[in-house]
Structures are given as C-alpha cells and as structure tokens.
Amino acid sequence: MKRIEKILIANRGEISCRVISTCKALGIRTVSIYNKGEEDLPHVTSADEAVLLGDGSLLETYLNQDLLLEIAKNHNTCAIHPGYGLLSENASFARRVTSEGIIFIGPSPESIILMGDKIQSKIAMEKLGIPLVPGFHGKNQDETSLVEEAKKIGYPLLIKATAGGGGKGMRIVNSDLEFTDALASAKREAMNAFGNDQVLLEKYITSPRHIEIQVFSDSMGSHVHLYERECSIQRRYQKIVEESPSLALNQKLRREMTDVAVKISSSINYLGAGTIEFMLDKDSNFYFLEMNTRLQVEHPVTELVTGQDLVEWQIRVAEGNSLPLKQEEIKQNGHAVEVRIYAEDPDNDFLPAIGKLNYIGKSTISGVRCDIGYVDGNEVSVNFDPMCAKLIAHGSNRENAISKLRAGLNEFPFFGVTTNRNYLQRILKSKSFLKGDTFTHFVESKKEELSPLKMDDQYMADLIAFNLLNKQSVETINERPSIKSPWDTLSGLRTT
C-alpha cells in the first residue's frame, strides 16, 4: 500500500477543480497544468502548483504524454488523475505512467483497451451472456457488405464510429437510400475526431432510455455498484440532464441491471470507478452499450444520492485500500438531478457561444451544488468543450430536487455568454419531464414543448422597467476585483 501525497491532474476546467477540492479535503497536494492564456482559470489558481504546458495544439499540450510524465517526475507526484476525456481512456498513457512507478488513478491498461474497443468489448460481453443490441460489429468495412448487414438488421439503424464517443461519427439511417451518404459522413467525422474511421451498425431502438450503473472496484477483488443514473435527455448525443434514481426502474429491474453491471466489472477484474451504460427499451429490456473506464461527468448525482465522494474512493482504491463501503452499506437516499450548462444557443441549433463571463452567480440554496471551471472575468473560448458548469440539486424526492434545481438555475445568470440556462429551465418545468416521460430523443420529439415562451405585455413591461430603473452602469458591473492576492506575488511565503 502506497499513500498518495501529491497528485498531478492531467486535465483542466471543472473536473480538475473537482479533483482539487477532494485532494484539499484529504491533505493531498495538487499539480495543475495549463496553456498560455489560461492563467486566470480556477483549475490553475486553486492548485498547489501549476505548470505551463505551452501554447500549442492539444497534442503538444494536454495530450502530450512525454511532457506530462516529465512534469510528474519533476514535481515528485506519486499519482496522476486523468479526469475525463483527454488521456483518461488512453491505455498507452496508463501503461507509461505505471511503468514510471507512478500510480495511474484509473483501471488497468487491459481494462481500458478491452472497453475502449467497441467491437472487442461487445464480443467479450456476448461471451459473458450480457444482453446486446442486435447489430454488426465485424471487421469487414467494405461498403457493399455493410449495406448487406444493414439489410439483415433492418431500418432504422445507427452507424457508429468504433472509436467514437459524444455522438461524433454517429448517424441514424432510416432507409437504404440514405445509407451511402450517412456512412461517408460518419466515417469522415470519425477520421477527423479519432483518426480511425471504422464503424459498427446497430438496430435503432425507437423509444430508448439511457440508464447507466456506477460501479467501483478495489484491488482486493471487491466489486460494488452505486446504483443507476438516468441520462436520457441529450442533445447532439451529449447528455444535458441526469438524475438518480430513475423513475423507469422498479426494485426488480434495478436489481437485474446492477447485478449485470457488477458481473461485468468483476469478470474483467476491474479497478476503480467505472460506468456501465445500458439502453432500456419501453418493454424494460435492457442492452449493454459500453463501459466508460473513468469518472463520468455526471458522477455528482450519484455522490449526492449515496452521500459518498467518488474522487476520494478513486484515490483510496488506487492506493491499494479496500472499498470504503460494502454493497449492503451503500444506500440510495432521496433524489438528485443535474443539468449541464453549456455555452450555446439552444434556440439556434445549439450553436456554441463564446464570451467573457462577467457574472456567473452563486448558490444560496441548501442542497444545490455547482461544479464549475470558471470564475467571473474568465473567457469562454473556442478551444475546448463548451460545457461551462454543472448544477446539481439533491432533495428528499424528485419534485423537491427539481424545484431546488430550478431555483438554483435562477441564481446563475452566466452573464456575458449565451448559455442553455433558459432552455434547461424549460426542460425542468415541462410536463413530459415532470412525468418522467424521458427518452433519448426528448430534445427532438418535445421541441414544441421546449420552445421559448411567447412574451406577454406585462412581462415585456417588467423587463423595460428593470432596464430603465437599474442604477448600475456598465463600469460598476464589470469592475471585478482585479487586485491579486499577496499569495500570487509572494511565491516564497509559506502558509504553514
């Protein structure tokens, strides 16, 4: 067993801040990394040490394995937390980290390779008797044979990049007439995004829910789950609303799905935090989709419902400790809902937006948590994912959690950047969402219900009155404290 005293966080933004917050609570020192121009971001300013990567492309900076390993060695970090995205599911990075004698806070390279390959993982799961969506996962990528396979599966079907994620390189095809074009564009997008244009075909399930199970394993062979999250509400195949528990699961189905999830993690001898994603159809059949071998963006809903700190769990099992709790000690308590705040305009085809955040807001509501990688005055730039923050509310039941989240959203205006904040409010108050009528095509099929409200005269009069009577001038509101704290300039000072 090796105690972790200092961690290099090989990531940025809100997830780096999230890891730093647990590290501080545990007395672990942190090293952050950043690019030129990111000096003011909180993942840089809140870490104990921060190292400039440069100002080149992602490959030269955040994905530069040589540089990251050099930083880890120079700064004597005994472990690397990869966050999500970037190098978190890169097996060769995990292997290199481990071979340098540094702990990789994540699963073994073998698990990453197996689950990172959408074809191999499905073959392995099929052998285990895990239910799969009917489809073609073969190596033969010849167009005529793919058309043949498509006919066998039947339309509608999905074309998916095998190396994909986040909806990139994915297309729905309704008939053989659309197949050729959809295949070409999926392959092109996959090649650009992942450098690999291999695809698989899958039967398209018409009213599916996205249900995933959080699993956790230690190096002593204990494997547990921390129940489900429902993440059916997505746009461009990226989740925007997540919750736990799911209304679609009764105790019997919950038991079946969590049993299957733990069967998977134990059969591959998994280590650390993982998520098994399933598609649930309207007849309560569920199918294995994939396993994410990292901490998920939406992990906070699980943390709030179970009362656990999953980053702490990751660190403890990476040190070689046993899991903090036994399965029967892990309980679901109340309900949690998370929304992802994106810098984008949902009423204009979700077009990403950029700008300077002049007032983000803060929560004053008990049970509302904001995971964010920005502070007032930061720029939201074009270089990274447009997700600005996650707002998560925990309540005694679903209605309570939703109402807290709605009140919470009203405390976060995100002034200065166009966000989906208002659109998220429309989702949270829609009848369909309140009934739990949530499917992965929610955003498209409920478009009408989610369109902006028409403004009535009273509403417009109120807005005009606010505009005419408020005293603040542009200068006062943008006058964010730019005074640096003494800690920024006096680097030799010790705080202990």
Partner 1 sequence: MITKFNINDLIVELDDLKKDDKSVSFLLNGTRYEYSLVLSYKNKTILKYKDKSLHALISNNQILYKDDCNNVARESSLKKSRSQSSANPGAMISPMPGKIFKILSSVGNIVKKGDVILILEAMKMEHSVKASSNGVVKELFYKEGELVDGGVLLATLEAVEEFKEC
* Residues assigned a catalytic role: 294
Site membership for partner 1, residue 196 (CB under 8 A): no
Site string for partner 1, 87-106 (x = CB under 8 A): --------------------
Q: Identify which range of 1-9, 44-52, 363-371, 381-389 contacts partner 1 by CB under 8 A.
A: 381-389
Count of residues of this chain found to bind partner 1 when the rule CB under 8 A is applied:
51
Smallest distance from the beta carbon of 306 to partner 1, in angstroms?
31
Strand partners, 136: 201
**Cβ-contact 133, 153 below 8 angstroms:** no
Q: Which of residues 420-439 bind partner 1 (CB under 8 A)?
A: 421-422, 425-426, 429
**CB nearer to partner 1: pick between 348 and 495:** 348
Distance, CA of 21 to CA of 3 (rounded, Å) = 18
Site string for partner 1, 357-376 (x = CB under 8 A): -xx-x---------------
**CB nearer to partner 1: pick between 274 and 361:** 361
- Amino acid (one-letter) located at 283: D
Site membership for partner 1, residue 390 (CB under 8 A): no
Site membership for partner 1, residue 275 (CB under 8 A): no
Smallest distance from the beta carbon of 180 to partner 1, in angstroms?
18
Q: Using omega within 30 degrees of 0 as the cis cutoff, is the peptide bond preceding 324 cis?
A: no
Site membership for partner 1, residue 404 (CB under 8 A): no
Q: Using omega within 30 degrees of 0 as the cis cutoff, is the peptide bond preceding 156 cis?
A: yes
Site membership for partner 1, residue 349 (CB under 8 A): yes
Site membership for partner 1, residue 476 (CB under 8 A): yes
Q: Identify which range of 1-9, 49-57, 223-231, 460-468 contacts partner 1 by CB under 8 A.
A: 460-468
Of 474, 483, 490, 493, which lies in the binding site for partner 1, with binding defined by CB under 8 A? 474
**CB nearer to partner 1: pick between 169 and 300:** 169
Q: Identify which range of 145-153, 266-274, 312-320, 379-387 contacts partner 1 by CB under 8 A.
A: 379-387
Site string for partner 1, 223-262 (x = CB under 8 A): -------------x--------------------------
**CB nearer to partner 1: pick between 316 and 390:** 390
In this structure, the strands spanning 79-81 and 6-9 are: parallel
Site membership for partner 1, residue 457 (CB under 8 A): yes
Residues that bind partner 1 (CB under 8 A): 168, 189, 193, 236, 348-349, 351-354, 358-359, 361, 382, 384-386, 406, 410, 413-416, 419, 421-422, 425-426, 429, 452-453, 455, 457-458, 460-472, 474, 476-478
